[in-house]
Amino acid sequence: MRVRNKPWAKENIEAAPQYVVSEPEIWRGRWEERFGNTQPLHIEVGSGKGQFIYGMAKAHPEINYIAIEIQQSVLIDILDKQLAEPLANLQILHVDGGSVTDYFSPHEISQIYLNFSDPWPKSRHAKRRLTYHTFLKGYQEILPPEGELHFKTDNRGLFEYSLASFSQYGMILKQVWLDLHASDFEGNIMTEYEEKFSAKGQPIYRVEAYFPA
Ligand code: SAM
């Protein structure tokens, strides 16, 4: 995703270490301390402007959430939401989702969300897709056995690729939706991209998959 450079983003992020964790590696294995409770911890990789993760955190105060976003200029929008109405169960990391094992210990995460991940359609860029097997390896390490990965996208090519990638990795596909908004799925929180693409009439694909014990 291309975004406008926001020169003030770095400064604003550094001014809010209570929400954007400045040294996430020191909390590896200790996120319960950071949140001050032992609630389950869910992460989203590639949160963008954070509408989904902020909405989830608001709807589920009994779960802790961490937004992971690699671009400062986008992450700043998640921070703005937190500053406007702070949620105690939401933290933000400015890191690469390919390095999750640096920030979370084995089994520390109960569930992972990927939403409208960049499709990287050229095969030579496949290894950048957040559902490429090297990313799956990291997710598997931090989830418990049978820990789930939930993925939504409008991109049929990425969806098909990801289903194949999950299966080849040995993951179990628990449920698949080919048109989420036409289904009876309850409690869906829309992402910014989801709003944009579904308004154009595009179906939203969704899968819940897990790594077997
Ligand atoms: N999830 C949001 C949504 O559905 O509206 C944003 C979707 S946007 C297409 C993909 C986001 O993933 C971008 O903000 C991008 O910076 C982020 N991203 C891409 N690769 C990443 C990585 N390796 N680690 C963390 N974030 C990443």
- Residue 57 included in any domain: yes
Tens-place pLDDT, residues 110-168: 999 999 999 999 999 999 999 999 999 999 999 999 999 999 999 999 999 999 999 99
pLDDT at 1: 61
- Residue 112 included in any domain: yes
- Residue 114 included in any domain: yes
- Residue 1 included in any domain: no
- Residue 98 included in any domain: yes
Find the mean pLDDT for residues 31-40. Answer: 98
- Residue 100 included in any domain: yes
Query: pTM of the full predicted structure?
Result: 0.97
Banded pLDDT at 8 (limits 50, 70, 90):
confident
State percent of the chain over pLDDT 90: 95
134 CB neighbour count, 10 Å cutoff: 10
**Residue 22: which domain range?**
9-210
Whether residue 3 has pLDDT greater than 80 = no
User: Is residue 192 in contact with ligand 1, taking CB distance under 6 Å?
Assistant: yes
| Rounded Cα–Cα distance for residues 35 and 47 (Å) | 19
Select from 6, 20, 71 the residue to mutate for testing ligand 1; criterion: most ligand atoms less than 8 Å from CB: 71
Q: Binding residue per annotation — 58? A: no
- Residue 4 included in any domain: no
Q: What is the DSSP letter of 122?
A: S
Whether residue 171 has pLDDT greater than 80 = yes
Tens-place pLDDT, residues 47-84: 999 999 999 999 999 999 999 999 999 999 999 999 99
Rounded to the nearest angstrom, the distance between the alpha carbon of 199 and the centre of ligand 1 is: 20
Q: Binding residue per annotation — 103? A: no
Q: Which protein residue's CA is at the shortest distance from atom 15 of ligand 1?
A: 46
- Number of folded domains in the chain? 1
147, HSE (Cβ side, Cα atoms, 13 Å):
22
Find the mean pLDDT for residues 175-185. Answer: 98
- Domain of 126: which CATH number? 3.40.50.150
What is the bridge-based pairing of β-strands 148-153 and 205-210?
antiparallel
206, HSE (Cβ side, Cα atoms, 13 Å):
21
135's enclosing H/E stretch is helix 133-142
Rounded to the nearest angstrom, the distance between the alpha carbon of 107 and the centre of ligand 1 is: 23
Q: Write down the ipTM of this complex.
A: 0.99
- Residue 3 included in any domain: no
